[in-house]
Amino acid sequence: MGIGLLTLIIFLPLVVSFVLLILPVGMKVTRNVAFATTVVVFLLSLSIFFRFRLTDYMQFREFHPWITTYGIYYSLGVDGFSMIILMLITTLIPLGYLFLWKTKKAKGYWASMLLIQTGVTGALLSLDMILFYFFWESMLLPVFMIIGIYGTGNRIFSTLKITIYTIMGSLFMLVSILYLGVAFYNEFGVWSFQLSDLVQITTLTNLQRTLLFFGFMIAFAIKIPIFPFHTWLMQTYSNSPTGGVFILSSIMAKLGIYGIVRFVLPLFPHQYVEFAPYFVGLGVFGLLYFGIAALMQQNIKKMFAYSSASHLSFITAGIFSLNIYGMTGAAFLIVAHAMATGGLFLLNGTIEHDLGIRSISGLGGIAKKAPFLTLAFALMLLCIVGLPGTNGFVSELLIVFGLFQFNHYVGVISALTVLVAASFMFWLFQRAILVGTDNDVSKMKDLDIKEMVGIFSLAVVIFAMGIYPHWFLYKIEPTITHYLVDILKVGVGS
């Protein structure tokens, strides 16, 4: 049997990582090989992007038996929604590597980064619930390692906290998955954990479905995080090393959103519609809540953490808006926010690397020393605040459209998003980057060429997607239409 493209994308980093770990090679070789691997993976995923057909089916399917006793299959596939996130992951990671280049970490760091990539792409592409859970939990370990080993501050406590918090969520999901599997078995007489099979279950009562729905939602709500499951986030972000927080914020949190759309939506369409108002409410509330909380943070990473939480709540509201605007907007904001936040964290990483300072009050006047960094920072910031011309604007606009369609008042409140991010982000920019202070920032170096390639590629994509969003959106629209019309049966929204 041949090895499929998706398998290659998922497992290439894993294999390389193990080989690197076992071979007695130094940090530099590890880093270079790791980077080359991610580039190869990027090219592979690019070929998927271009060969992707405009349908709502799963494509590039791979299907092999794994644990046949319980009908568990190694089953992979891509549709429009996962494709865009796949592209996001495979693009972001090599670019991130360029930034992490100069971090003087051991080779375990790079190996872990590769392992994370395997975990996230695996979770993204699996269509078997058990396989998904498998990757979903596995990706936690390298993250655990990266934060715990290479983090700062009270890292051990926060690592344990995030691990236990997220495992708690995913264990509830596991029970729900198993419950569904048993329900399927009872109804059809065979075991299967295929998503496409599990959606056919008809025997569950409404109460059971509701409970299972929340079983899933807890896992994803913690990962995203949705209010009030967010307290791990701030500590973790502020104690993580750059690479870890980069992965956490721009990729793993998005997988929570992805999980909701991929699994919760088709499995519990009725509950999805029924509870949509609550989640929209939570989302919009979170948008404001986290946004306001971000205002007075002293630690840059903490502020970004709140900012991320704010945006992710907004995305959550978008995917629960039950119409095509909100959902496409959410998909788009996933990408936009991942790039911008990722970029910001990376830039902040270089600041931290050079100066070793993380409190806003300890910085200032960086712009004079590092104009390129300032420029890059500004561009990412513009995307975060949703300035027209960036993809942040398109997505926020679409989500506001969607929420307005959902409920006019909610729509109006959600439009506050244009204010929320702008207020703290520009203030941060003022205090940390622009205005000169008495703080000594003489050690600050400007971006080197690798970093510039990394960050400005991101910026180009951000602006390309903002100026010509249609070219990116039309690939996911059929999928989302399929979700709304065929699964949720709510229509795309007039």
Site for other proteins in 324-343 (CB under 8 A): 324-325, 328
Count other C-beta atoms under 10 Å from residue 174's C-beta: 18
CA-wise closest residue to 259 among 222, 285, 228, 293? 222
CA pair distance 241, 227, nearest whole angstrom: 24
Count of residues of this chain found to bind other proteins when the rule CB under 8 A is applied: 101
Closer to other proteins by CB, 92 or 432: give it. 432
Q: Which is nearer to other proteins, 77 or 392 (CB)?
A: 392
Q: Is residue 463 within the footprint of other proteins (CB under 8 A)? A: no
Distance CA 135, CA 362 (A): 40
Which of 246, 401, 406, 483 forms a contact with other proteins (CB under 8 A)?
401
CB 424: neighbour CB atoms within 10 A?
23
Q: Which is nearer to other proteins, 279 or 401 (CB)?
A: 401
Which string of x and - marks every residue 232-251 that binds other proteins (by CB under 8 A)?
Answer: --x-----------------
**Cβ(319)–Cβ(449) below 8 Å:** no
| Per-position DSSP letters for 243-295, written without gaps between them | HHHHHIIIIIHHHHHHHIIIIIHHH-HHHHHHHHHHHHHHHHHHHHHHHHHHH
Determine, following the binding rule CB under 8 A, whether residue 181 of this chain makes contact with other proteins. yes
- The answer to whether residue 144 forms part of the interface with other proteins (CB under 8 A) is yes
To the nearest whole angstrom, how small is the minimum distance from the Cβ of residue 144 to other proteins? Answer: 7
Nearest-approach distance from CB 455 to other proteins, in angstroms: 13
Out of 196, 231, 361, 442, which residue is the one contacting other proteins (CB under 8 A)? 231
Decide if 299 contacts 360 (C-beta within 8 A).
Answer: yes
Report yes or no: 136 and 57 within 8 Å, Cβ to Cβ. Answer: no
How many other β-carbons are positioned within 10 Å of the β-carbon of residue 23? 11
Can residue 368 be called a binding residue for other proteins (CB under 8 A)?
yes
Measure the CA–CA gap between 203 and 274, rounded to whole angstroms.
19
Q: Measured from the CB of residue 361, what is the shortest distance to other proteins in angstroms?
A: 13
Does 400 bind other proteins (CB under 8 A)? Our answer is: yes
For residues 72 to 111, the per-residue mask of contacts with other proteins, x marking binding by CB under 8 A and - elsewhere, is: --x-------------------------------------
- Closest to other proteins by CB, 36 or 106: 106
| Residues 255, 288 contacting (CB under 8 angstroms) | no
**Secondary structure letter of residue 197 according to DSSP:** H
| Comparison of 49 and 426: residue with beta carbon closer to other proteins | 426
Neighbouring CB atoms inside 10 A of 137's CB total 17
Query: For residues 258-287, which are near other proteins according to CB under 8 A?
Result: none
| Distance in angstroms (rounded) separating the CA atoms of residues 477 and 493 | 13
Q: What is the nearest approach in angstroms of other proteins to the Cβ of residue 229? A: 9
Q: Contact 125/10 with Cβ under 8 angstroms?
A: yes
Q: Which of 141, 199, 464, 487 binds other proteins (CB under 8 A)?
A: 141
Nearer to other proteins, 35 or 456 (CB): 456
18 is an interface residue for other proteins by CB under 8 A: no
Asked if residue 233 lies in contact with residue 244, where contact means CB atoms within 8 angstroms, the answer is no
Query: In whole angstroms, what separates CA 242 from the centre of its chain?
Result: 15
When binding is defined by CB under 8 A, the residue of 85, 111, 473, 488 that contacts other proteins is 473
Asked if 149 is part of the footprint of other proteins (rule: CB under 8 A), the reply reads: yes
3 state DSSP class of 374: helix
Among 66, 101, 214, 285, binds other proteins (CB under 8 A): 66
Q: Is 25 in the site for other proteins (CB under 8 A)?
A: no
Query: How far is residue 377's CA from residue 448's CA, in Å, rounded to a whole number?
Result: 14
Q: Provide the residue type at 476 as one letter.
A: I
Segment 283-312, which members bind other proteins (CB under 8 A)? 289, 292-297, 306
148 binds other proteins per the rule CB under 8 A: yes
In the complex, minimum distance from the CB of residue 43 to other proteins, in angstroms, rounded to a whole number: 25
372 binds other proteins (CB under 8 A): yes
Q: Does 418 bind other proteins (CB under 8 A)?
A: yes
Q: How far is the CB of 71 from other proteins (least distance, A)?
A: 11
| Identity of the residue, 91 or 405, whose beta carbon is nearer to other proteins in the bound complex | 405
Tokens linked to 492: 């795309």
Q: Is 204 helix (H, G, I), strand (E, B) or coil?
A: coil
Contact 328, 469 (CB under 8 A): no
The interface region with other proteins, picked from 44-52, 243-251, 271-279, 472-480 by CB under 8 A, is 472-480
| 113 scored as a contact of other proteins (CB under 8 A) | no
